[in-house]
A and B are shown apart, each in its own frame.
Chain A
Amino acid sequence: MKFEEQIAEHERRKKEAMRMGGEKKLSKLREQGILNARERMDYLFNDGTFVESGLFATSFRPEKKDQTPADGKVTGFGKINGRDVCAIVNDFTVMGSSSSRTNSKKMAHMKSVAKKRGIPVVFLGESTGARMPDVMGADSMGGSSNPTQYQRMRENPWVSAVLGNCFGSSAWYASMSDFNVMKKGSIMAVSSPRLTSLATREQVDPEVLGGWKMHSETTGFADMVVETDEEAIDAIKTFLSYLPSNHNEAPPIAPVPKGSDEAIKNILELIPESNKSVYDVRKVIKAIVDKDSYFELKPKFGKTVVTSLARLNGKTVGVVANNPLMKGGALDADACDKVVSFLVLCDSYNIPLVFMVDQPGFLIGIEAEKKRMPGKVMNWMNALSLCTVPKISVILRKSYGQAFLNMGGGGNADETVAWWTADVSFMDPGSAVSIVYGVNEKDDPERFQELLTEMKKDTSAYDMAAVYGTQSVIDPRETRDYLIDMLDIHQMRLTNGIGQHLMRAWPTSY
């Protein structure tokens, strides 16, 4: 065949492969303002950087070859902010982007290259699950197996967006990712509402089965919720900007925005003088970190604690902060799970941790115990002790009980510093009198006062500093400078900024 003919044939095949599920389906997406798979890929990568892998792949079944351009999953490499990234984008218009023999090979190759060469993987999810009838029958079940398909050792970041119906593999990858953003109206579940209804013989509301409210508030699988495809992809790019490309690199350093040391000057306005009053710790964090660098994860899940990526002097930090605004900052089971998953994230990618402490203790009660609190509290302590990235703990106001240790007190952080507002003890002295002596203030005020005096020991920042239980006492307005200095001192110089990643194989979802 002449070259000219071969060129023409090549172009014809390329065009054929690029048509996705056909104009009818694509125009429907356009009408709804939804990006198709290739538009999503274009939006993800810097212009002209996408190199496709598997454009000519199709279903292995001869009668389906013409209907399966790229076999329903568009894969390849490209650059985000100049850095190499690998992407798997589901094309729902091609057989619901169901997982098949060929496209599973594509996915496996992407994941393998990304792992071996140390670059992140992005999953833009929207799929119906396994392809039928391909997977039906014992020969299919027996014939396909990849024992490491769902293995995670966190060598490289996995980042996911749920952009439509996500059942089967797209739900699996979303739940295994280091960051998962969900577009409103999308569903993430093991199986489709239709299959679930058939199995359980009851009508299932898709939103209740796996909508954004459920995953942002109840399961915590959604780290962030957005309205559009573009916002979801923007969130992925922002998340990746805080992370190294792999676990053997330190996180990238960003320029420090002008005016980053302005907000800290007014920090006292954010904290009430009365220790009975509460405040929103998110505002306090924003006043300390680099301007516009606050990137909160799971804001509606386990709300009594805030977990946020941010930057201090251009360097990525992970902030764990109690939020007194929510339940007074009392740590519940969801809060514990949220913190542990965040510690695993930060430690796996060499991100130093900053704890901001103002908490009355762990939430107690029958409901809390049913949620396995002792295990949650200790899982957190174990995680904290396994973290090898620098940990700096700042005691803002109260810090009581076991949670004092969980938040880095008692030597569980590399440095502890207290504001002069700090109040540290095992528990509230009034409660202690009632517990130890069984005396209530209402029943016997005189005896109660007497015992209270005995129970009430000094709880101030200076008392803690006197036994060197905290390395320093500072004015809240000094916090930003103090943290920048301490994070500088505690750089992991001996290992070029790389931690030991002792939790790299910890469960990916709690």
Chain B
Amino acid sequence: MALTEVTVEITGSIWKIEVSEGVQVEEDDTLIIMESMKMEIPLLSPVSGTVKELKVKEGDSVSEGEVAVIIEG
């Protein structure tokens, strides 16, 4: 099983986390909703698999390129 690190694509804050560790996700499912540039921007899963680890929590400030979620699948 390969691990995929899902990185944040834009600097901003974590507004809402839509998944929890252990749940199944499909490609393009929303994992996290970020707030940046006064918009709510979803972070989509690049692969189908299981959420292995959440590296962020709601309210965190994150920069582009930071790993937010690890998906196994």
Contacts from A to B (Cβ < 8 Å): 276-278, 324-328, 330, 360, 365, 367, 428, 430
Contacts and interface: CB of A to CB of B under 8 A. Distances in A.
Given A328-B10, A365-B11, A278 B64 contact: no
Contacts of A276: 38-40
Contacts, number: 34
A324 B9 contact: no
Nearest to B10: A327
Nearest to B35: A276
Interface string B18-58: 00000000000000000011111110100000000000000
Given A365-B11, A367-B64, A330 B37 contact: yes
8 contacts: A278-B41, A324-B39, A324-B41, A328-B10, A328-B36, A328-B37, A360-B37, A428-B37
Nearest to A368: B64
A360 B42 contact: no
Interface of B: 9-11, 36-42, 44, 64
Contacts of A277: 39-40
Nearest to B12: A328
Q: Which of B36, B37, B64 has the most CB of A within 10 A?
A: B37
B38 A278 contact: no
A359 to B, nearest CB: 10
B7 to A, nearest CB: 12
A504 B42 CA distance: 39
A330 B38 CA distance: 12
A424 to B, nearest CB: 16
Contacts of A278: 39-42
Given A328-B39, A365-B11, 9 more contacts: A277-B39, A325-B41, A325-B44, A327-B9, A328-B10, A328-B37, A330-B10, A330-B37, A367-B64
Contacts of A327: 9-10, 36, 41
A325 B44 CA distance: 9
A360 B38 CA distance: 9
A160 B29 CA distance: 33
B70 to A, nearest CB: 18
Contacts of A430: 38
Contacts of A360: 37-39
Q: What are the 8 A-B residue pairs with the smallest beta carbon separation, nearest first?
A: A328-B39, A327-B10, A328-B37, A360-B37, A328-B41, A276-B40, A327-B9, A276-B39
A430 B37 CA distance: 11
A216 B36 CA distance: 26
B42 A325 contact: yes
B47 to A, nearest CB: 12
Contacts of A328: 10, 36-37, 39, 41
A250 B70 CA distance: 49
Q: Which of A277, A325, A328, A428 has the most CB of B within 10 A?
A: A328
Nearest to B28: A280
B38 A428 contact: yes
